[in-house]
Chains A and B, each alone.
Chain A
Amino acid sequence: MNSSLALSSATFIYALASVFYIGSFAFKKQFLARLGFIILVLGFFDNTVGIILRWIESYQMGYGHAPFANMYESLVFFSWTVAILYIFVELKYKESIIGVFATPLIFLAIAYASLSPDINSKITPLIPALKSNWLIAHVIACFLGYAGFAVAFGFSIMYFVKPGTTNTTSIFAKLPSLDLIDELTYQMVVFGFLFLTIGIITGAVWANSAWGTYWSWDPKETWSLNTWIVYAIFMHLRMMRGWYGKNLAWVSIIGFMAVIFTYFGVNFLLSGLHSYA
């Protein structure tokens, strides 16, 4: 058993979980969603094992660092954080149908990591700037933030597929009430916002100990600030201006686009300090 076997099998298990969730939605069969949840939890364990093995392997290779050092590792960890957050939400709110909108994200991230030719899955040594205890805190906080926004995005999509008047024979009838979707989206955004805040702050403190400046308007920093601003706008619109429903869902979708650009766009299109991940 090695990490790459564990992680590629996790990719397929996540794919299976998504298929079951989508099947349960399409054929209105609750037991398929139950099965999907069990498979999802299995995939999550496999994913966890893969990350731990990779950590151990990096020590065996003599590099010895947490597996958060390149694009491949960050995508694998992204899947992990979205999976754990979604599992938590399903257990707490007992609404399995929303998995239709969350599980594909988990699968897509890890599949992209495993299958894309642009992404190198080799364990590489850390450059001196990344050797810091802040690495783990910074990466975990940022990715919990991203995961919160990803799940919020999945929930926001529901506004656009759920028809206003509920037709009991429609496959959308099973979706939770709009009030609950609104509450869930808000809870996920709050979670993401708190962790993105912590992520940006730990990054700033780290930059100050590595380069002597806590903020240098590097593209990654600027885009993460932009993401933070979009979600700050979301909060103000909801709490102070009474926005809800589709209008607010649009803000959440725009916010997630900003997350995606911060994560991928900056690395592939713009150059800066954060070129590693």
Chain B
Amino acid sequence: MKKNQTIPETIWQFFCSVKLAVYMLVLLAGSSIIGTIVLQNGTPAQYIREYGESFYNLIKVFNIDDMYHAWWFLGLLVILCLNIVVCSIDRLSTTWKIIFPKKFKFNPERFRKLKNLERFIANKETSSMSKDVERFLSKTVGRVIKEETQTGMILYAETGRWTRMGVYFVHLSLLLLLIGALIGSIFGFKADMNLDEGATSNTAFMSKKRVPIQLEFSVRCNDFDVKFYDTGAPEEFTSNLTIIENGKESFTKDIRVNHPLRYKGINIFQSSYGSGQPDSVVFDIIRQSDKSVITRTVKVGDEIELPEDQGLFKLEGFLPHFDFRGNNLGAAFIGRITQKGGKDVQVALPIKFPTFDKMRKGAFAFVVKEFKEKYYTGLQITKDPGIWYVYSGFILMIIGCWITFFMSHQSFFVEIEKNTDNSSNISISGTTNRNNQGMKLKIQKIVTKLKDI
């Protein structure tokens, strides 16, 4: 700490150093790697299996299981923000004075000493040459300032003073992004809703905590459709949704991946799908003694009477993944046969294995003949009121980077000196706040242009 400095001044000094910014960036980059290696949002059991009890405690203390929302990670972001704000305010006062000077002036002596100074002799007298140069500069650069000297004339023009603001735009855009993210995480949510075809719901479940959220409106899935490539990979999946408000149908829209529905600040995305429970199934019921077939349609939950007084068959439900002695046999229907005399047997009828029920060795075997496949649609429901801050941050960042990297504040200086023989000595130089190499080339270009005039 320097002497004669008050504590607020010291704090200000601390936050306005570029060194701090570099350290913070290194820390952020380094620590964010942890989250790409250690599993995020896992269960305690997963961490204990992977790292053991003692490391699990460490993970808990530092919230490494959700490190991008951990107090210390957010703390680093807050320090970086303070750093950006303080740095920008500190430098902006200087930049502001350059951009909006009280009195506009330039120092000819400085330009005469520049390394990129070029000289040539023009076969024109000073006054006509100065008119040509003035026309050229005002056309290609901007407003020209003229001054008479003892030996002739000096002309000065400049452009792009405001481009010195570019870097502040970039820093402001970072703040906008972080503000947008903060608003989103406080007032927004991300939730899932699975809807069977035909079902209606207004309740979604938060993606991480599984807490239910009530929407202002209900969503009904009228239809779900999935198309496959010949390779078996899904090509497109589409849900036809109706929004229902106060018991009235509001509107109907198709959504598919990359084409969400947005309504009243809520976004509904097509995110996944799965097999749902069909309404009814057509069964072949085969008498084992003579292989004669009876075909019956059964609704899920309904009961039918088996022929020859063999009892009742109830279709209990549908399993997307039927597990048989550790093997996944795929989708299957589950039913129950109640025989006369009260004996109960559960029967599983996997769709892909039609002879499966024969192994039960009953008097009748069931085979799934056909059913209309039903799906449920997996919707992701989000609300993010911070998104417009984030998007304006994105736009400002691109514009700011463009200005900072590809535009600059350039000043040009031309001196015309009288010669005795009606010709003039011309010297040209220029300054820029960026890319001196480019300035040198530009001065040379101007020389060739002025020679041609």
Contact B68 A217 (CB under 8 A): yes
**A-B residue pair count with CB separations less than 8 angstroms:** 104
Q: Is B398 a contact partner of A214 (Cβ separation < 8 A)? A: no
CB of B201 closer than 8 Å to a CB of A: no
Let me know if B21 and A229 touch, CB within 8 A.
no
Least CB distance from B292 to A in Å reads 46
Check if A129 sits within 8 Å of B257, measured CB to CB: yes
A190:B405 contact, CB within 8 angstroms: yes
Given A125-B233, A128-B257, A201-B398, A237-B437 contact (CB < 8 Å): no
Instruction: Name B22's contact: one of A198, A217, A233 (CB within 8 Å).
Output: A233
B387 within 8 A of A: yes
Complex alpha-carbon distance, A240 and B35, angstroms: 31
Q: Is A131 an interface residue (CB 8 A)?
A: yes
How many angstroms from the CA of A217 to the CA of B67 in the assembled complex?
A: 10
Please determine whether A226 and B32 come into contact, CB atoms closer than 8 angstroms: yes
Decide if B405 touches A226 in the complex (CB within 8 Å).
Answer: no
Chain A CB count within 10 A is highest, among B29, B384, B394, for B29
Interface 9-residue window, one of A24-32, A35-43, A166-174, A204-212: A204-212
Q: In the complex, A242→B307 CA distance in Å?
A: 93
Whether A204 pairs with B405 at a CB distance below 8 angstroms is: no
Residues from chain B with Cβ under 8 Å of A125 in the complex: 229, 231, 233, 235
Q: How far apart are A214's CB and chain B's nearest CB, in angstroms?
A: 6
A212-B260 CB under 8 A given contacts A128-B234, A226-B33, A229-B28:
yes
Task: Report chain B residues within 8 Å CB of A226.
Answer: 29, 32-33
Q: Once bound together, how far apart are the Cα atoms of A119 and B394, in whole Å? A: 34
Given A211-B271, A233-B22: A129 touches B258 (CB 8 Å cut-off): yes
Q: Please, which residues of chain A bring their CB within 8 A of the CB of B387?
A: 208, 214
| Residues of A in contact, count (CB < 8 Å) | 43
List of A residues within 8 angstroms of B418 by Cβ = none
CB-CB under 8 A for A215 and B181, given A128-B256, A236-B18, A240-B18? yes
B243 at the interface (CB under 8 A from A): no
A198 surroundings in chain B (CB, below 8 A): 398
A-side contacts of B32, CB under 8 Å: 217, 222, 225-226
Encoded as 1 (CB less than 8 Å from any A CB) or 0, chain B from 381 to 402 comes to 1101001001100100110011
Q: Separation in Å of the A5 CB from the closest CB of chain B?
A: 24
B26 in the interface, Cβ–Cβ < 8 Å? yes
We find that the number of chain B residues with CB closer than 8 angstroms to chain A is 46
Report if A20 contacts B (CB, 8 A).
no
- Min CB distance, B256 to chain A, in Å? 7
Q: Are B234 and A193 in touch, CB under 8 angstroms? A: no
A residues in contact with B190, CB < 8 Å: 212-213
Bound CA–CA A232/B29 (angstroms): 11
Tell whether A95 is near chain B: CB-to-CB under 8 Å: no
Are B260 and A201 in touch, CB under 8 angstroms?
A: no
Are the CB atoms of A209 and B397 closer together than 8 Å?
A: no
A115 interface contact, C-beta 8 A:
no
Instruction: Name B133-182 residues within 8 Å CB distance of A.
Output: 181
Cα(A241)–Cα(B256), bound, Å: 50
Cβ of B215 within 8 Å of any chain A Cβ, yes or no, is no
Contact A127 B40 (CB under 8 A): no
Residues of chain B within 8 A (CB-CB) of A233 are: 22, 25-26
Q: Which residues of the other chain, A, contact B26 by a CB distance below 8 angstroms?
A: 229, 233
Does A219 have its Cβ within 8 Å of any Cβ on chain B?
Answer: yes
B residues 48-106 near A (Cβ < 8 Å) are 68
Give which listed residue, A209, A225, A230, contacts B260 with CB less than 8 A: A209
Given contacts A210-B269, A223-B36, contact A128 B258 (CB under 8 A): yes
Closest residue of chain B to A237, judged by CB?
B22
Asked if B267 is at the interface of the complex by the 8 Å CB criterion, the answer is yes
B380 an interface residue at 8 Å Cβ cutoff?
yes
CB distance from B442 to the nearest CB of A (A): 14
B258 x A210 contact (CB < 8 A): yes
A52 adjacent to chain B (CB < 8 Å): no
Is A137 interfacial (CB 8 A cutoff)?
no
Docked-complex contact A236 and B21, CB < 8 angstroms: yes
B37 in the interface (beta carbon within 8 A): yes
| Residue A90, interface by CB 8 Å | no
Do A132 and B405 touch (CB < 8 A)?
no
**Across the two chains, which residue of chain B brings its CB closest to A63?**
B229
**By the criterion CB–CB under 8 Å, are A212 and B380 in contact?**
yes
- Alpha-carbon distance A212/B260, docked complex (angstroms): 9
Chain A proximity mask over B229-243: 1 for CB below 8 Å, otherwise 0: 101011111000000
How far is B269's CA from A190's CA once the two chains are assembled, in angstroms? 36
Closest CB in chain B relative to A143 CB, distance in Å: 17
Nearest residue, chain A, Cβ from B34: A222
Whether the pair A212, B267 counts as a contact (CB closer than 8 A) is yes
- A194 and B405 alpha carbons, distance in the complex (Å): 8
Residues of B within 8 A of A211 (CB): 269, 271, 380
Query: In the complex, which of the residues A128, A217, A222 contacts B235, with contact meaning CB atoms closer than 8 Å?
Result: A128
A201: B residues at CB distance < 8 A: 394, 397-398
Which residue of the partner chain A has the closest CB to B234?
Answer: A128
| B233: chain A residues within 8 A (beta carbon) | 125, 127
CA distance A124 to B235 in the complex (A): 11
Pairwise interchain contact A222-B269, C-beta atoms closer than 8 A? no
**Which residues of chain A are within 8 angstroms of B29 by Cβ–Cβ distance?**
225-226, 229-230
Chain B residue numbers with a CB within 8 Å of A197 are: 397-398, 401
Nearest residue (CB) in A for B229 is: A125
**How distant is the Cα of A127 from the Cα of B19 in the complex, in angstroms?**
45
Please indicate which of the listed interface residues A198, A213, A270 has the most CB atoms of chain B within 10 Å of its own CB.
A213
State the CA gap A226–B25 with chains docked (Å).
9
A110–B175 alpha-carbon span in the complex (Å)? 40
Q: Using Cβ atoms and an 8 Å threshold, which residues of chain A touch B22?
A: 233, 236-237, 241
> For chain A residues 223-277, which have a beta carbon within 8 Å of chain B?
223, 225-226, 229-230, 232-233, 236-237, 240-241, 266, 270
For A97-136 the 0/1 string (1 means CB < 8 A from B) is 0000000000000000000000000001101110110000
The 6 closest A-B pairs by CB, nearest first: A212-B382, A128-B257, A219-B36, A229-B29, A240-B18, A125-B229
User: What 18 additional pairs, Cβ within 8 angstroms, besides A128-B258, A223-B36, A233-B26?
Assistant: A63-B229, A129-B257, A131-B236, A183-B437, A197-B398, A211-B271, A212-B380, A212-B381, A213-B384, A217-B35, A223-B33, A225-B32, A229-B25, A229-B28, A233-B22, A236-B18, A237-B22, A266-B36
25 interchain pairs, CB-CB under 8 A: A125-B231, A128-B236, A128-B257, A131-B257, A197-B397, A197-B398, A205-B391, A205-B394, A208-B387, A210-B258, A211-B269, A211-B271, A211-B380, A212-B380, A213-B190, A214-B387, A217-B32, A222-B33, A223-B36, A226-B33, A229-B28, A233-B22, A236-B18, A236-B25, A270-B37
